[in-house]
Amino acid sequence: MDRINALRKRITSVDISKMKRAQERLDALTKPRGSLGKLEEIAKLIVGITGKENPVLEKKIIFTFAADHGVVKEGVSAFPQAVTGQMVYNFLSGGAGINVLARHAGARVVVADLGVASDLKPDKRLIIKKVNYGTKNMSEGQAMTRDEALRSIEAGIEIFEEEFSRGSGIPPEAGKHGVDIVGIGEMGIGNTTAASAITASFTNMPPAQLTGRGTGLSDKELENKIRVIEKALAVNKPDAKDPIDVLAKVGGFEIGGLVGVILAACARKVPVVIDGFISSSAALIAYCLEPKTKEYMIAAHASVENGHIFALNHIGLKPIFDLELRLGEGTGAALAMGIIDASLKIMTEMATFKSAQVSEEAQ
Amino acid sequence: MDRINALRKRITSVDISKMKRAQERLDALTKPRGSLGKLEEIAKLIVGITGKENPVLEKKIIFTFAADHGVVKEGVSAFPQAVTGQMVYNFLSGGAGINVLARHAGARVVVADLGVASDLKPDKRLIIKKVNYGTKNMSEGQAMTRDEALRSIEAGIEIFEEEFSRGSGIPPEAGKHGVDIVGIGEMGIGNTTAASAITASFTNMPPAQLTGRGTGLSDKELENKIRVIEKALAVNKPDAKDPIDVLAKVGGFEIGGLVGVILAACARKVPVVIDGFISSSAALIAYCLEPKTKEYMIAAHASVENGHIFALNHIGLKPIFDLELRLGEGTGAALAMGIIDASLKIMTEMATFKSAQVSEEAQ
């Protein structure tokens, strides 16, 4: 916890004065004021986060963390648990949705095993930071120990820091960013159940409203999933004032890992693109640990999963788009990176009214 | 009109059987069925439109057509009329929003003068198909003659066909596409007034509901704009059953040109990405001329302009995203192309459950 607290103290607010100057620059460009809507907001925010007047997002990383969930014993997923590990191999060989969309965005996918239930074949592209072989069944007791929750967050911090120093070949102490922007994604059969329970803990909303069909449950299976979450909350009584307690009782190792990435990225002034519902449950925990993390978050999209919008609302984030996605892995975050890049190009490449000799609007 | 009618006859329905096969392929990929939402819908549609199993959108064009509007005399815009021509130069020198976003999408911008009020400096990158020096003031009589309306559409057809044959170096008769996808955009001070009047004509909705602030009108100026549109409709009585009549009475030359591009692209089985409100008013005219054009249209975004969603609803199109844009020029269409590219990569680059040895969901 000391390490996490030390990191929290390093997270400062974004640079409002630079954001104001960015808006002035945007207003001088050959377009009616504000007519590029969210693109202008995003560009301004990236300036505020990075503190750079002309940020360029060259080094993009999607962190896709995998872990298993003991609660799958309760029949909360349409897919067998073995799929978590199988998908890790798919990530490594480049055939998953996130690989395709990350390539499209010019991003690298960093895959880590935070707690897959089986031992995965060694692969130099796979980071192993296994906290345990899957969580325990949260409907019978807490998913992990408090110590495991802390270790999962610390594992995420370590993974980010390794990439950060590796990214540019410059040691972190030099203060230069080796990572320009990160997206957070995940894979874990059963993890929409964890995300629903986490979101219920922080928002106090009934699980029936926050729980969705995940990878594709029937009506009956959805009813069961809701009952399982209700039971998990009743058995564990997660304390919303103690985000580590929530993570330990109803969370997952990949979710904890992503909390660590968020904290570490914010401390390094690196924008964090939040993917779907599970990523947002990690964002919720990070936000409740340190509210300033919100200023560094960009919500990529509104997921089909019922609970997602409530998680985003609780933090105070608005998604950039709604493409009816519900895949996870970081896919929505990767797509959003294309739009974020576009927003920065608008700010840096467009002509001004003056330079293009275009008349301005009547005041 | 003969030429337009001949083109209409060449527009056939999209290939439903190939779309079904595309969905089967999408369902075999390593993701829960349907979990990539709109991306899957878009990929399937591009297969249906092009008739290609693995479409690749290499040659992308944004057609940005410019023209002036006599109705600006009524004070319907915050910008002076001279800006239309000034922005054409900005398009040619690459400094406008559409240039930046087209480069981002890997698209070429084709700029044409369909009826700017002044003579523009000759430039080999500028296509001149001036129908007239701006339209007449629609609040006093029809904006253009019926002959001019037809000529504006024909000009658009010609511009598309020239690009189509140029695109690949293969003559159009060979049946090979020289253009893989088009976006339509525009520039014309006063043209949200025309778009509002066109949309009111086809939807029978009151101008007060369809009229927005364009480039940034005050409350009082907006009231005036609504009255001007009401007057234009009362004076001209455009006949919704005769789309050419609507174009002639309350349209614009750039809008007519875009109608021509839509018709020509559909006849060549090229997908058409519709930008914002003005582009959608061209789409409305094309749809009312030939309803099958709808099958080739992809609505990029939901604009801030009030009338836009009503125009899209009338055609039956749903926008891909809402980034609160209101710039026009084709900017939203260019952004959408990035997402369309991503959707095709998903279909062609992702591993299947079988190839990746991932277990499928329980049936």
pLDDT score for B177: 54
pLDDT score for B143: 98
Q: Count CB pairs under 8 A between chains A and B.
A: 199
Query: In chain A, whose CA is at the least distance from the CA of B343?
Result: A101
Residues in chain A, overall count: 363
Average pLDDT, chain B: 95
Is the C-alpha dihedral spanning B16, B17, B22, B27 positive or negative?
A: positive
Nearest to A95 among B321, B342, B351 (CB): B351
Task: Give the pLDDT mean for B261-280.
Answer: 98
CA distance A237 to A231: 10
* Choice among A329, A349, A360, A361 that is catalytic: A329
Structure tokens at B294: 């709808």
Cβ pair A325:B97 closer than 8 A: no
Query: In chain A, whose CA is at the least distance from the CA of B344?
Result: A100
Residue B35 in this model has a pLDDT that exceeds 90: yes
Residue B39 in this model has a pLDDT that exceeds 90: yes
pTM greater than 0.80 (yes/no): yes
Q: What is the largest CA-CA distance in chain B?
A: 70
What's the CA angle centered on B301, arms B178 and A27, to 5 degrees?
Answer: 105
User: Closest approach of chain A CAs to the CA of B203, in angstroms?
Assistant: 26
Residue A50 in this model has a pLDDT that exceeds 70: yes
Is A324 part of the annotated catalytic residue set? no
Cβ pair B32:A326 closer than 8 A: yes
Structure tokens at B145: 């003659």
Q: For a pLDDT cut of 70, what percent of chain A falls above it?
A: 96
Question: A30 contacts in B (CB within 8 Å)?
Answer: 87, 90, 95-97
pLDDT score for B362: 66
Nearest to B97 among A338, A346, A362 (CB): A346
Task: Give the pLDDT mean for B87-103.
Answer: 98
Name the nearest CA neighbour of B120 among B94, B91, B157.
B91
Residue A340 in this model has a pLDDT that exceeds 50: yes
Q: Which residues contact B182 (CB under 8 A, 6 or more apart)?
A: B60, B61, B62, B63, B160, B261, B265, B270, B271, B272, B273
**8 Å CB contact between A119 and A88:** no
3-state secondary structure chain A: CHHHHHHHHCCCCCCHHHHHHHHHHHHCECCCCCCCHHHHHHHHHHHHHHCCCCCCCCCEEEEEEEECCHHHHHCCCCCCCHHHHHHHHHHHHCCCHHHHHHHHHCEEEEEEEEECCCCCCCCCCEEECCCCCCCCCCCCCCCCCHHHHHHHHHHHHHHHHHHHHHHHCCCHHHCCCCCCEEEEEEECCCHHHHHHHHHHHHHCCCHHHHCCCCCCCCHHHHHHHHHHHHHHHHHHCCCCCCHHHHHHHHCCHHHHHHHHHHHHHHHCCCCEEECCHHHHHHHHHHHHHCHHHHHHEEECECCCCCCHHHHHHHHCCCCCECCCCCCCCCHHHHHHHHHHHHHHHHHHHCCEHHHHCCCCCCC
pLDDT band at A315 (very low <50, low <70, confident <90, very high): very high
What pairing do the DSSP bridges indicate for beta strands B126-128 and B60-67?
unpaired
Structure tokens at B337: 């192309």
Task: Give the pLDDT mean for B39-60.
Answer: 96
pLDDT digits (tens, 9 = 90+) for B228-265: 999 999 999 999 999 999 999 999 999 999 999 999 99
Residue with tokens 């249906």: B48
Task: Give the pLDDT mean for B53-72.
Answer: 96
Residue B321 in this model has a pLDDT that exceeds 80: yes
User: Closest approach of chain B CAs to the CA of A121, in angstroms?
Assistant: 15
pLDDT score for A363: 55
Name the nearest CA neighbour of A41 among A351, A317, A349, A343.
A343
pLDDT digits (tens, 9 = 90+) for A92-138: 999 999 999 999 999 999 999 999 999 999 999 999 999 999 999 99
pLDDT band at B297 (very low <50, low <70, confident <90, very high): very high
Question: B116 contacts in A (CB within 8 Å)?
Answer: none
To the nearest 10°, report the CA torsion of B24, B29, B31, B34. Answer: -20
Helix (H) or strand (E) holding B183: strand B181-187
Q: Which residues contact A228 (CB under 8 A, 6 or more apart)?
A: A71, A74, A76, A139, A193
Residue A162 in this model has a pLDDT that exceeds 60: yes
CATH topology of domain B2-14+57-344: Rossmann fold (3.40.50)
Say what the ipTM of the complex is. Answer: 0.95
Q: Which residues contact A16 (CB under 8 A, 6 or more apart)?
A: A48
Q: How far is the CA of B151 from the CAs of B114, B148, B154, B241, B251, in angstroms?
A: 10, 5, 5, 20, 13
pLDDT band at A1 (very low <50, low <70, confident <90, very high): confident
Task: Give the pLDDT mean for A175-179.
Answer: 67
State the alpha helices, DSSP H only, in chain B.
2-10, 16-27, 37-50, 82-93, 97-105, 146-168, 191-203, 207-210, 219-236, 243-250, 253-267, 277-289, 308-315, 331-349
Q: How far is the CA of B195 from the CAs of A15, B147, B291, B310, in angstroms?
A: 41, 20, 19, 11
pLDDT band at A172 (very low <50, low <70, confident <90, very high): very low
pLDDT digits (tens, 9 = 90+) for B155-175: 999 999 999 987 544 444 554
CA distance B75 to B226: 11
CA distance B78 to B12: 42
pLDDT band at B361 (very low <50, low <70, confident <90, very high): confident
pLDDT band at B363 (very low <50, low <70, confident <90, very high): low
pLDDT digits (tens, 9 = 90+) for A10-20: 999 999 999 99
Question: B345 contacts in A (CB within 8 Å)?
Answer: 100-101, 103-104
pLDDT digits (tens, 9 = 90+) for A60-102: 999 999 999 999 999 999 999 999 999 999 999 999 999 999 9
**8 Å CB contact between B160 and B182:** yes
